[in-house]
Amino acid sequence: MGLSGKTRRALLSLARDAVKAYLLEGRSLTPGEDCPDICSEPRGAFVTLREADGSLRGCMGQIAAVERLDWNVSRLAVVAATQDPRFPPVRPRELPRLSIEISAMTPPERLSSVEEIEVGRHGLIVRRGGFQGLLLPQVATEYHWDRKTFLEQTCLKAGLPTDAWRQEGTDLFSFKAEVWGEDETPDASPV
């Protein structure tokens, strides 16, 4: 954790450039050629696109730290703009009105007790059978949820009953995220 303001700004610029290249030129940025070496550390990430009024326009991510953070951000920005099943693909004319937010993740840790969850600091993952739901730490803060509501909403996101978090056989994980966006000061502290 603890990316510098310069790195944060560079990653935001990379995300915007990746979306622009894909929507305007039909091409993906090539890691190593088009993507400068910004952050080679493997980290999971989410990229969120918002409209001018703050409403969600797309959000996609990968919690596992499989790829370098800069490559992950570049790829996920395009996926958020074009493949979020909740929204039609972003059109080029929308680009100037969209803002980008990046969440760089820590690896998930299994919870032994729900008392370990700090609302606003931790994101949640609920797994049961073939179902999984994930909510970023800032979601609970944005909606002013308490711990119980956060757990219930994460269960709903997984397609499970709201009380699934209490049931045996349900796995709970928490993670932290360093979150910043174009509308914020890039030197802000991590969530």
Q: Please tell me the predicted confidence (pLDDT) of residue 152.
A: 97
pLDDT at 183: 81
**pLDDT of 64:** 86
Dump pLDDT digits (tens) for 34-72.
556 677 788 999 999 999 999 999 999 998 888 889 999
pLDDT of residue 177: 92
Residues in the chain: 191
Mode of pairing for the β-strands spanning 131-135 and 123-128: antiparallel
Tally of CB atoms within 10 A around 32: 11
pLDDT at 16: 96
For the chain, which residues score pLDDT lower than 50? 186-191
Closest CA to 137 of 173, 171, 165: 173
